[in-house]
Chain A
Amino acid sequence: MSFAAHLINGISLGSVYALIALGYTMVYGIAKMLNFAHGDVIMIGGYAVFVGVSNLGMNPLAAIVVSMAVCTVLGVTIERVAYRPLRGASPLAVLITAIGVSYLLQNIALLVFGSDTKAFTNVVTLPNLELFDGQLVIKSVTIVTVIVSVIIMIGLTLFVKKTKIGRAMTAVSEDKGAAQLMGINVNGTIAVTFAIGSSLAAIAGVLLCSAYPSLTPYTGSMPGIKAFVAAVFGGIGSIPGAFIGGILLGVIENLSKAYISSQLSDAIVFSILIIVLLVKPTGLLGRQIQEKV
């Protein structure tokens, strides 16, 4: 039974990575930039729920909605202030700015909330699922996380493939100039991408903090980096790829913690990134780019 338990824990962790990776991959797929501040938006989302529930006594669901609104505004603001002026600049400049924004958010959180760990209250109050006479307990937060991330993955795929704004996103990602000449508002489309990515970050933040109930200004940073690994693993830019990459990464991390070494688990995770990049540079579901010569 212990293998099953480790596997389930891995899937639970993996769905959180998947949720974060969806945000990464969406922004990368459309705006062609790595938003390294994404993990820290998650942290802010977590604090928003924490303040809502613990300090203001809000209903957890209402707090989640507020947190999504906060993160959406934050994401759009970051895009407007930090990234939009750099449109057309070298990708390296944008990447460094993103890292700067990430530290800025961490330090703002440090200033406002202090460095002490906040005990986050699990917002998922459903009973746990017990199988085989209680030999295998699946936490309700695990179930909710998995279901939510599957729904969001499917929803996002449908949104990008089937709606007008999704079409505009694909058009912008392929050719900003041509999109503009067809009457598509490029800046607006990218802003919507950030809004959606950031509201997903809020949901990821809540689920992350519910599963691992401690909140510090650095909470988002490591999961953020691992989710980035997951997105690359699955093929960055691909929505199902981010999901599969996230789940696999969570499972690998948990199984190596259980059976190899808990200290080496991060090393194993990052080694996998390197191996995947060596063998299949575009990731599991990434598109092979063949240039016609």
Chain B
Amino acid sequence: MALLETKNLGISFGGLRAVNAFDISVEKGQLYGLIGPNGAGKTTIFNLLTGVYRPDEGAILLDGVNLTGKKTIEICKAGIARTFQNIRLFGDLSVLDNVKAGLHNHYPYSTFEGVFRLPRYFKTEREMNGKARELLNVFGLEEYADYKARNLPYGQQRKLEIARAMATEPKLLLLDEPAAGMNPNETKELMDTIRFVRDHFDMTILLIEHDMKLVSGICEKLTVLNFGEVLAQGDTQEVLNNPEVITAYLGE
């Protein structure tokens, strides 16, 4: 059974059919790419998957559990995490605290315990610090732990967003244009990071990307979206050689 499955997913904004009859099936451990020209509806699909938008029709299944119409928080708890096209870190929090914000739901203690600093507060915060530092370590960000997130170099901010998303302990990681604004060296490093995340955490990753080098370099399967509809779907090389796909990207 596929880890992520959508069936006939669709949403309209006023008269605009943003996504229509979208079917996808992502297997566990797969590195899956979602590509298409600007305005094709890629980010809309991410917003549907994370509950930012409610689909007008269709269903979203994660690990066989129906997530259609669930709230963002419930979907996060069910195991979908994401990063953003325009980086949305908590800039005023430290790098460490950003990751700890991602750990929010996994280390419970009450507000009361936090206000009065009862023993459980110290114990839980210690555990959170340990876990967060471990994650930073994995992503090579430990030396920046006390920096404010906004002061990190761009490429590191992208990495931190992935680390923060991983802190929510997801089953599925959504990356929205992770290579946007990166130079070729940073992109290469990012490809290594993404591959590493998949292998190290045994993670399933669905990513949106325009950088064809990245897409052809790491994605195993692709879905091409055009005007809200699936244009092509299948193995990466096959899809990229599809004449229809080339037309959609490069024009007649």
CB <8 Å contact, A183 and B76: yes
Q: Contact: B93 with A167, CB < 8 Å?
A: yes
A46 within 8 A of B: no
Enumerate chain B residues within 8 angstroms of A179, measured Cβ to Cβ. Answer: 90, 101
Given the known inter-chain contacts A174-B92, A180-B72, A183-B168, please indicate yes or no for A168 contacting B115, CB distance below 8 A.
no
| Interface bracket on B | 20 to 34
Contacting residues of chain A (180-202) with chain B, CB-CB under 8 angstroms: 180-185, 192, 196
Residues in A whose Cβ lies below 8 Å from that of B76:
180-183
Tell whether A183 pairs with B90 under 8 Å between CB atoms, given A163-B114, A164-B114, A164-B128.
Answer: no
Given contacts A166-B114, A168-B104, are A182 and B168 in contact (CB under 8 A)?
Answer: yes
Supposing A162-B125, A165-B111, A192-B111 touch, asked if A183 and B100 sit within 8 A by C-beta, the answer is no
With A164-B109, A182-B164 already in contact, the answer to whether A175 and B73 are too (CB < 8 A) is no
Q: Is the CB of B100 within 8 A of A181?
A: no
Taking a contact as CB atoms under 8 Å apart, the answer to whether B107 and A185 are in contact is no
CB proximity of B152 to chain A, nearest CB, Å: 14
* Any A CB within 8 A of the CB of B97: yes
Distance to closest chain B CB from A39 (angstroms): 24
Query: A-side binding surface: helix, strand, loop or mixed?
Result: helix
Question: A162, A175, A178, A183: which contacts B104 (Cβ < 8 A)?
Answer: A183
Contact B52 A182 (CB under 8 A): no
* A167 touching B114, Cβ below 8 Å: no
Task: Identify which of residues 132-175 in chain A touch chain B, using a CB-to-CB cut-off of 8 Å.
Answer: 155, 159, 162-168, 170-171, 174-175
Asked whether B114 lies within 8 Å of A159 as measured between CB atoms, the reply is yes
**Contact pick for B90, options A162, A165, A171, A196, CB 8 Å:** A171
What are the nearest 6 A-B pairs in CB distance? A163-B114, A183-B76, A178-B88, A183-B105, A180-B72, A174-B90
Binding site for B on A (CB under 8 A): 155, 159, 162-168, 170-171, 174-175, 177-185, 192, 196
In the complex, besides A164-B109, A182-B102, 15 extra interface pairs with C-beta distance below 8 angstroms are A159-B114, A163-B114, A164-B128, A166-B114, A167-B104, A174-B90, A177-B52, A177-B88, A178-B88, A181-B72, A182-B81, A182-B167, A182-B168, A183-B102, A185-B73
Q: List 8 A-B contacts (CB under 8 A).
A: A163-B114, A171-B101, A174-B92, A174-B93, A178-B88, A180-B73, A181-B76, A181-B82
